[in-house]
Chains A and B, each alone.
Chain A
Amino acid sequence: MKIELRGWSSEGLRCPDVAVDLLAHGEIPPVSLIQMPNGTGKTTTLELLRATLDGGAKQWAPADVRRFQRPHDTSARGSFKVDLLVDERPLTFELILDYTEGQAFYRTTDPATGGVKSGYHPPPQVYPFLRSQFINLFVFDGEFAGRLLDVGKSEAEKAIDALCQLYLLNDVAETADDAWKRAARGGNPRTTTGLAGWERAQTRIATRITQIETAQSQSKGELEGLKLRIEKLKEVIATHMARSTSDNTEYESAQRALADSEKRVEALTGELMQFVRRPDVLHSQIATSLQMLKSNLDSLKLPENTSAQFFQDLLREDTCICGREMNEKARTEITVRSKDYLGAEENGLINAMKTDIDKFIPCTGAFEPDVRLASCIKALGDAVRDRQRATGTVSALRQKRIEQGDDKLLEWQTELQNKTAEIKEIENVLKEISAPADDSEDTEKTFSLALLRKRLAEANRKVSEITETVTIHRQTELLKDIVSEARELARNRIRGIVLTECNNRLNKVLAHDPVQLERIDRSLHLAHQAGASVGQTLAVGYIFLMTVLERGQNKFPLIVDSPAGPLDAGRRRAIGELLPKLTSQFVGLVISVEKLGFVSSLEGSASKVKYLTVFRKTPGTKQWVDALPEKGVAQSNNAAIVEGRDYFNEFDLVEEAHL
């Protein structure tokens, strides 16, 4: 499917009344640039584009609706209309805002289904791509592509979720949960005692879980960001110290020793932990005692060859195994004596234990202390001492430089210490969040998600019991578990596929400036991220987005507010060259200062570019209106829109002349 943006128009809204037609000679050009000076409503336009396409304004509160009313304007209504081409067939959505009632309405025009209809009615095949989560992937502000690589955010994960439409799984879980809650509310409780209290507890705990999950997600992002910063600071300090003429060699050698000893401490601690987790290795006496237990059980013939089950079966027979009649007295006696035997399954457990003792502790007679454990402890002790020595040397050399007046080093050193302390704090918070449920803690004070989920489950169970909806509640919980697992599985699988596709595309598109993605989790991670430029980062973001969007052979427009805003001229050129290669339709809302470097490179890379300039008609812009060209101009009461490359390029001069 190919979705193209044909144009939009606005009337009676906070943004100026304009009709933007993107067609040029009957075709949609690959690039359209709409120049809108600050204050012309770029952000509002983008917001209304999204709301008109996703149908979300129906949920707006009256205040949200009235937010779009132009100040001092008495119009009772405003409307925003978006014209699309879906596989070259027109489809129009109109959002109407009634300021008096504070309500939003939609109108859909689809010639394929009989023309204008009241309400939001996207064709079924288009609907999945017009969900807000999906629209955010192709209608966004210029910093979004960069945010995909921000480890403090989770934009890449959201993009993957939108691509797989994993939010539909959330919808399933929420629908099931709502259905249970409705059933519980509409139930016929035998008693209402405590019901209101448990319902309040449900809400309170669910809210706290959401807050803590958000905090957990943010903390994980912050942690990754801090770790990257610490790596960078260490690099910077090392490079700085290497420039020193006197201590250079000694510092480098101490740094290498420190890195080496830290690695050894970590590896040996892990190895020692593995030994400690094995009681048989931990101490020779433990091994001896377990082997002794096994020998005693053998000599006691435990477990016996006969299990209690044999005697239970025998009781059902008419005659005993010895041939005598099975009378009541014999049955009673056999029942009593069968208790002296272990059951078949108990026998299985004991045999498994004996087998494991033999497997882990070969019966060699004398048990000596485990040499592997002893040598690991010794090696760890040596590594810890090496680390102490190296740390001391590194600190002393840095301190020497600081005392010699190296303020920059002092600044980095202080930041390093602060960031290290911050990491510890965040790790402590994350640890508390993932801690097991400690029942002694208060719901309001605990950070343990396990405890909160346990308490929520308890509250849900109580409500379901009181309202006699236990079965439907169990089914709901099962469905939610399945949905959650499916979401994780899908996420992981699609991440791997998108990673490969992105890297293939990066190889082709950025052949002159190679960069690769190392992994995708909540955010994108570049291989050697610390060395990547802002331009590379943004390029990777765009390439990721287009890879995600165009999976499944679908094509979407890319509508970006300030696409080159945060970049210098050189990087604007690079992004300008890249964008037309990535998408069949690029629509950029730009301000005049973004044009340098960006526009010329777009022109060089795209076959056709449409230029539009929009400005508000105010007393301050009267001279612009007076100087409008004769052709290619459309005006409304409060705005003018001018088509043409020359006017577009010279507009900054027009602006400057009147500032």
Chain B
Amino acid sequence: MNFRLRTDAKKWFSEVSGRSPFKTAFDVFYFCLIAGLVSGRHNELGQSENSSYEITDNFTEEFRAQRNLIIGLLILADLRAHGIDVHEKQSVRNTIQSLLDPHTQTGLSDLGVRLMNEYSSGGCDYLAERRAKPFLAEEFLRDFVQLVDSAVTSGPLVGDLAVN
């Protein structure tokens, strides 16, 4: 299972992607993924309006060091999506078991990668609903930090803390 990017996300980012400092398509995937994970937005790929394409089969070099933090955010998002109490050992273990696969290069199971793709798709909608198509990297990056802040402030991450 590979990481997939929404076709319309490619178009939306077309003016900034592939130009410094956005090195690969995984950068675009990551912006969408983080937006999806912090806002809790996710949707399935494959429907005509959500057509997608494979971008890579692994975290790219720029994200290898952050891989485990991103996986951690995915686990948190999935626990939250299924309403699992983080103190329920069996449920937490099952969730981790379903998302991780030590035999893949990403460390994620097929389900884990699929969920990443779904959150990236949701994040793509989240960004496109709140900002015009980006034309300059420097402007988009500053706005992205703001958009993440808004999503965190009004989104489910605050709830994670409350559970604790």
Contact = CB atoms under 8 A, between A and B. Distances in A.
**Do the two shown chains form a genuine complex with each other?**
yes
Interface of A: 265-266, 268-270, 272-273, 276-280, 282-283, 285-286, 288-290, 292-297, 299-302, 340, 342-343, 345-346, 348-350, 352-353, 355-357, 360, 373, 377, 380-381, 384, 427, 431, 434-440
B145 A276 contact: yes
A278 B17 CA distance: 18
- Considering residues B5, B56, B89, B149, which has the most beta carbons from chain A within 10 angstroms of its beta carbon? B89
Contacts of A272: 138, 141-142, 145
7 contacts: A270-B21, A277-B27, A289-B161, A293-B76, A302-B89, A357-B69, A436-B25
Given A346-B100, A440-B51, A273 B152 contact: no
B30 interface: yes
B13 to A, nearest CB: 11
Given A340-B90, A357-B72, A438 B20 contact: no
B93 A340 contact: yes
B54 A436 contact: yes
Contact of B142 (A299, A380, A436): A380
Contacts of A353: 68-69, 71-72
A277 B62 contact: yes
Contact of A286 (B25, B51, B157): B157
Given A276-B145, A283-B148, A346-B96, 13 more contacts: A265-B138, A272-B145, A282-B145, A288-B161, A289-B76, A292-B161, A294-B72, A296-B87, A296-B92, A340-B90, A349-B100, A431-B18, A435-B18
A201 to B, nearest CB: 20
A346 B102 contact: yes
A269 B141 contact: yes
A293 B72 contact: yes
- Considering residues A266, A277, A301, which has the most beta carbons from chain B within 10 angstroms of its beta carbon? A277
A343 B102 contact: yes
A353 B112 CA distance: 15
A346 B66 contact: no
Contacts of A289: 73, 76, 157, 160-161
B141 A293 contact: no
B32 to A, nearest CB: 13
B131 interface: no
Contacts of B148: 282-283, 286
A278 B89 contact: no
Interface in B16-68: 17-22, 25, 27, 30-31, 34, 38, 51, 53-56, 62-63, 66, 68
Contact of B157 (A270, A280, A285, A438): A285
B19 A427 contact: yes
Contact of B69 (A348, A356, A381, A439): A356
The 3 closest A-B pairs by CB, nearest first: A345-B102, A438-B53, A431-B18
Main secondary structure of the interface of A (DSSP, over half): helix
Contact of A439 (B21, B53, B139): B53
A295 B92 CA distance: 13
Contacts of B114: none
A384 B19 contact: no
A381 B66 contact: no
B68 to A, nearest CB: 4
A96 B7 CA distance: 59
B145 A377 contact: yes
B39 to A, nearest CB: 12
B111 interface: no
A155 B53 CA distance: 37
Contacts of B20: 266, 269-270
A349 B92 contact: no
B105 interface: no
A384 B25 contact: no
Interface in B83-103: 86-87, 89-90, 92-93, 96-97, 100, 102-103
Interface string B96-131: 110010110001000000000000000000000000
Contacts of A265: 138
Interface string B153-164: 000011011001
Contacts of B68: 352-353, 355-357
Nearest to A296: B86
B9 to A, nearest CB: 11
B92 A285 contact: no
A293 B22 contact: no
A573 B160 CA distance: 81
Nearest to A344: B102
Contacts of B137: 269, 273
B144 interface: yes
B60 to A, nearest CB: 10
A373 B146 CA distance: 12
B133 interface: no
B56 A436 contact: yes
Nearest to A353: B68
A147 to B, nearest CB: 30
Contacts of B72: 290, 293-294, 353, 356-357
Given A286-B152, A289-B160, A302-B89, A434 B18 contact: yes
Contact of B152 (A266, A283, A302): A283
Contacts of B96: 302, 342, 346, 350
